[in-house]
A and B are shown apart, each in its own frame.
Chain A
C-alpha cells in the first residue's frame, strides 16, 4: 500500500529544511520517525519543518516531533515549524505544543 507521507530534505547553509507532505498517522509515523531522526543525526543544524502540504497529524506524530526536538536541543539547536494549516495549528494549541516549538507564520 502506498504511503500517504513524504519527508523531503532540502539543504541550505544555515538550516536544514524538511518538507512534510501528506498525512502523519499511526500508519506513517514510523516512516516519519526514521527519516526525521536520520536527518537530524546527519546535520548538526537548526531544523525548519515546512508543513504547507501537511494535511493531517495525530498524537503519535506530535510525539515524534517532540522526540525530534529533544534530539535537536541536545546539540543546542532548535526546530522551527512554518506554514502550519489551521486544522493542525489547532492541535498544537490544544496540546500546548505551541509553547514548546517555535512556530512561524
Chain B
C-alpha cells in the first residue's frame, strides 16, 4: 500500500523544500515589518476603519495593532488562504490530467493498480506537502516573533496551521476533480486555480450582500486565520466540514475517473 504515494512524494521532495523556504522567507519579512507598522499603528487603524467592509473581510483585516492581527492579514490571509489555497488546487489539477495528456498514465494503468487507488494515492501525496509547509512556517513565525521581542501566541498560531490542513485538503480535492475531468494539464491547472480563487471571491463578496449563504459553498468560509489569531475563535466544525467535503470530492473524482475513457 501507498507505494504510489511514496513515489510521488519523493518526486515532490525538492519542490516541497523550496516552497517551505520561500514561505518561511515571506514569514520572516512579514514579522520583521511589524515593529515599523506598530509605530504608525494609530494612523493605520484609522485607515482600516475607513476601508470598505467587503475589502476588510476579503483580506481578513482586523487590526494591525498586534503582531497576530498583522500576521493574520499580511501572512495567513494572503499566504495561506489565497496563495497556498490556490496553489494546492493548481497542483492537484496536475495529478491526473498531466499523465492522461502525455500518456504517462498508460504504464500505470497497465499495472495491476485500480484507478481508484491511483487517484487516491496521488492525492495523498499532497498531504505531507501541506504538513511540511505548515511545520516550517509555524517554527519560523514563532522564532521571528521572539526575535522582535513580542509574545508568541503559541496556541493560536498552532491552531491556524492545523486548521489550514483541512482547508488545503478541500482546495486540492477541487483541483483533483478538475484533473480527472480535463485531459489537458495546463487547462486543468488553470481551471482549478480559477475555481479556487473564484470561490474565495464569492465568499468574500457575499459577506457584504444579502446573500451571504452563497459563500457557504466556498472552502474559505470554513477557515478563518483572523478569527483564530485575533478573536481566538477556533472553527473546529468548519474543519470537519472541510474534511468531509474533501472526502466527498475525492470520492467524486474516483467515480469519474473509473468511468473515464483514457484514449
Does A associate with B in a complex? no
